[in-house]
Amino acid sequence: MRNKNLRIDNLRIVVFDWDNTLAETRTPLIYSVNRVLEEYGLPDWKISKQLRDPNLSFRDNFPRIFGEKAEEAYERYVEIYLNNVAGLISTFKNTDKVLRFFHDHHILMTIMTNKDRRLLEFELPLLFDRTLFIKIVCGHEAERDKPFPEHARYTLRGLIKDEDISPETVWIIGDSPQDSSCACGINALPIRIGESIWGDDEKHGDKIIYYRDFGDFYRRLLHSADN
């Protein structure tokens, strides 16, 4: 769904995905995982990623790629990632404007990511002021990660009652079907920014609002505030 009019009158909480939504982390991810794949004598990510399950997080796909050495390979990935991410990570144009808009309109912001907290906590201050976000939930902290609704419910716990969650009160903003499925699972509004890392999906296509980039999204937010 495109060009749907947004209304912020009753909006209380915005839940942001991190990887490839607020932060361009595909570059450090591919760099780091390719280093690990090479060390283990496996094909590069373009080939190895075909083994992944799109319903699992990047981390939880390691057993499908590295087998019994998955835990060891993941720790090596973390080491390489942390040593290189500062020079490779970036954000997207106009992202700061969107965050400032929600902050100025007193709308709570959270981050919900499948990412390892060790990585998220290291890279978040490289891009943003952490105090913008009232709550941050990472992978393996809820009963189940995205795309399952438990991740969103855990993120929103203490911020809004389950019965008050609706597409008007809670938006979940991400780049992939995992984010959209999680949003629809709790009756929040799924918003997708940019190109999906996992590919297109049709399951919730009639409920999802798509924006080309944060500039497009920001213009819609300004329009919503003027009406």
pLDDT tens digit sequence for 46-99: 999 999 998 888 999 999 999 999 999 999 999 999 999 999 999 999 999 999
- What is the Cβ-side half-sphere exposure of residue 109, based on CA atoms within 13 angstroms? 21
DSSP string, 124-188: HHHHS-GGG-SEEE-TTSSSS-TTSHHHHHHHHTTTS-GGG--TTTEEEEESSHHHHHHHHHTTP
Does residue 8 fall inside a structural domain?
no
Domain match, 201 and 98 both: yes
The CATH number for 100's domain is: 3.40.50.1000
Domain match, 71 and 98 both: no
Evaluate whether 183 touches 152 at the Cβ level (below 8 Å): yes
Does residue 6 fall inside a structural domain?
no
Domain match, 178 and 72 both: no
β-strand pairing of 108-112 with 13-16: parallel
Identify the domain boundary among 56, 72, 87.
87
pLDDT tens digit sequence for 182-204: 999 999 999 999 866 545 555 65
Domain match, 77 and 103 both: no
Does residue 7 fall inside a structural domain?
no
Does residue 5 fall inside a structural domain?
no
pTM: 0.92
Find the domain containing 68 and state its range.
Answer: 26-87
